[in-house]
Protein backbone atom coordinates (compact mmCIF):
# COMPACT_ATOMS: atom_id res chain seq x y z
CA UNK A 1 0.00 0.00 0.00
CA UNK A 2 2.84 2.38 0.85
CA UNK A 3 4.54 1.70 -2.48
CA UNK A 4 1.30 2.39 -4.34
CA UNK A 5 0.88 5.79 -2.64
CA UNK A 6 4.51 6.64 -3.37
CA UNK A 7 4.06 5.65 -7.02
CA UNK A 8 0.87 7.71 -7.35
CA UNK A 9 2.57 10.73 -5.78
CA UNK A 10 5.44 10.50 -8.26
CA UNK A 11 3.00 10.15 -11.18
CA UNK A 12 1.11 13.21 -10.00
CA UNK A 13 4.31 15.27 -9.74
CA UNK A 14 5.36 14.22 -13.23
CA UNK A 15 1.94 15.10 -14.63
CA UNK A 16 1.99 18.54 -13.00
CA UNK A 17 5.50 19.20 -14.35
CA UNK A 18 4.45 18.15 -17.85
CA UNK A 19 1.34 20.29 -17.81
CA UNK A 20 3.25 23.34 -16.54
CA UNK A 21 5.90 22.81 -19.22
CA UNK A 22 3.21 22.78 -21.92
CA UNK A 23 2.41 26.42 -21.23
CA UNK A 24 5.96 27.65 -21.71
CA UNK A 25 6.17 29.67 -24.90
CA UNK A 26 2.42 30.05 -25.34
CA UNK A 27 1.84 33.35 -27.15
CA UNK A 28 -1.09 35.56 -28.03
CA UNK A 29 -2.09 36.29 -31.61
CA UNK A 30 0.27 39.30 -31.69
CA UNK A 31 2.94 37.92 -29.37
CA UNK A 32 5.01 35.76 -31.70
CA UNK A 33 7.95 38.22 -31.64
CA UNK A 34 8.30 37.59 -27.89
CA UNK A 35 9.43 34.00 -28.49
CA UNK A 36 12.94 35.32 -29.10
CA UNK A 37 13.11 35.92 -25.32
CA UNK A 38 12.11 32.37 -24.35
CA UNK A 39 15.67 31.35 -23.48
CA UNK A 40 17.19 32.73 -20.25
CA UNK A 41 20.15 34.23 -22.12
CA UNK A 42 17.84 36.27 -24.34
CA UNK A 43 15.65 37.36 -21.42
CA UNK A 44 18.83 38.49 -19.64
CA UNK A 45 19.60 40.72 -22.63
CA UNK A 46 16.17 42.30 -22.23
CA UNK A 47 16.73 42.74 -18.48
CA UNK A 48 20.09 44.41 -19.14
CA UNK A 49 18.70 46.65 -21.90
CA UNK A 50 14.97 47.05 -21.24
CA UNK A 51 12.63 48.00 -24.05
CA UNK A 52 9.79 50.32 -23.09
CA UNK A 53 7.25 48.33 -25.10
CA UNK A 54 8.03 45.00 -23.35
CA UNK A 55 7.17 44.32 -19.71
CA UNK A 56 8.11 41.28 -17.67
CA UNK A 57 5.11 40.50 -15.47
CA UNK A 58 5.49 38.22 -12.43
CA UNK A 59 2.08 36.98 -11.31
CA UNK A 60 3.14 35.32 -8.05
CA UNK A 61 1.86 36.68 -4.73
CA UNK A 62 3.55 39.86 -3.52
CA UNK A 63 5.46 38.12 -0.70
CA UNK A 64 7.01 35.60 -3.12
CA UNK A 65 7.88 38.42 -5.52
CA UNK A 66 9.59 40.39 -2.75
CA UNK A 67 11.73 37.37 -1.80
CA UNK A 68 13.00 36.81 -5.34
CA UNK A 69 12.19 38.05 -8.81
CA UNK A 70 13.68 38.72 -12.21
CA UNK A 71 15.20 42.22 -12.35
CA UNK A 72 12.91 44.79 -14.04
CA UNK A 73 9.85 42.53 -13.53
CA UNK A 74 6.62 44.14 -12.38
CA UNK A 75 4.44 42.32 -9.84
CA UNK A 76 0.81 41.77 -10.79
CA UNK A 77 -0.39 39.00 -8.44
CA UNK A 78 -2.76 36.64 -10.23
CA UNK A 79 -5.44 37.29 -7.61
CA UNK A 80 -5.49 41.01 -8.50
CA UNK A 81 -4.76 41.14 -12.23
CA UNK A 82 -8.34 41.72 -13.31
CA UNK A 83 -8.80 44.65 -10.94
CA UNK A 84 -5.52 46.14 -12.19
CA UNK A 85 -6.14 45.85 -15.94
CA UNK A 86 -6.05 49.62 -16.31
CA UNK A 87 -2.34 49.43 -15.38
CA UNK A 88 -1.65 47.00 -18.24
CA UNK A 89 -1.97 48.80 -21.57
CA UNK A 90 -3.05 46.52 -24.40
CA UNK A 91 -0.30 48.04 -26.53
CA UNK A 92 2.41 46.58 -24.26
CA UNK A 93 4.09 43.28 -24.99
CA UNK A 94 3.86 41.19 -21.81
CA UNK A 95 6.21 38.38 -20.83
CA UNK A 96 4.30 36.62 -18.06
CA UNK A 97 6.12 34.45 -15.52
CA UNK A 98 5.42 32.69 -12.23
CA UNK A 99 6.64 29.72 -10.20
CA UNK A 100 5.84 26.94 -12.69
CA UNK A 101 4.03 28.51 -15.64
CA UNK A 102 0.57 27.34 -14.59
CA UNK A 103 -0.44 30.52 -12.78
CA UNK A 104 0.93 32.59 -15.65
CA UNK A 105 -1.24 30.62 -18.08
CA UNK A 106 -4.30 31.20 -15.91
CA UNK A 107 -3.61 34.96 -16.02
CA UNK A 108 -2.99 34.83 -19.77
CA UNK A 109 -6.38 33.20 -20.31
CA UNK A 110 -7.97 36.07 -18.39
CA UNK A 111 -6.01 38.61 -20.42
CA UNK A 112 -7.10 36.95 -23.66
CA UNK A 113 -10.74 37.18 -22.61
CA UNK A 114 -10.17 40.88 -21.85
CA UNK A 115 -8.84 41.45 -25.39
CA UNK A 116 -5.06 41.28 -24.87
CA UNK A 117 -3.06 39.75 -27.73
CA UNK A 118 0.59 40.70 -27.09
CA UNK A 119 1.86 38.26 -24.48
CA UNK A 120 3.93 35.15 -23.90
CA UNK A 121 3.99 32.65 -21.05
CA UNK A 122 7.67 32.51 -20.14
CA UNK A 123 7.06 29.69 -17.70
CA UNK A 124 8.92 29.10 -14.46
CA UNK A 125 11.02 32.04 -13.32
CA UNK A 126 13.41 29.52 -11.74
CA UNK A 127 14.73 28.96 -15.28
CA UNK A 128 16.13 32.49 -15.04
CA UNK A 129 17.09 32.27 -11.35
CA UNK A 130 19.12 29.08 -11.92
CA UNK A 131 21.33 30.86 -14.45
CA UNK A 132 21.40 34.49 -13.33
CA UNK A 133 20.04 34.56 -9.79
CA UNK A 134 17.32 36.92 -8.62
CA UNK A 135 16.88 40.15 -6.75
CA UNK A 136 14.78 40.77 -3.66
CA UNK A 137 13.23 43.80 -2.01
Q: Collapse the DSSP code of 35 into the 3-class scheme (helix H, G, I; strand E, B; otherwise coil) and give the result.
A: helix
Q: Which residue has the higher pLDDT, 7 or 41?
A: 41
CATH: 3.90.1580.10, 1.10.8.60, 3.40.250.10, 3.90.550.10. Which one for 2-132? 3.40.250.10
Q: Tens digit of pLDDT for each residue in 48-62?
A: 999 999 999 999 999
The 8 Å CB, 24+ separation contacts for 13-22 are 16/100, 16/102, 17/100, 19/102, 20/100, 20/101, 20/102, 20/123, 20/124, 21/101, 21/123
Q: Tens digit of pLDDT for each residue in 73-129?
A: 999 999 999 999 999 999 999 999 999 899 999 999 999 999 999 999 999 999 999
* CA–CA separation, 119 and 47 (whole Å): 17
Where are the chain's structural domains?
A: 2-132
pLDDT at residue 15, rounded to an integer: 46
Amino acid sequence: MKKQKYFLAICLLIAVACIAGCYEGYVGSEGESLKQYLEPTRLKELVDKPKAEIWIIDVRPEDAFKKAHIPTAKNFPSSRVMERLSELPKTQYLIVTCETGGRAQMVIRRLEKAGYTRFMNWGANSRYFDVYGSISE
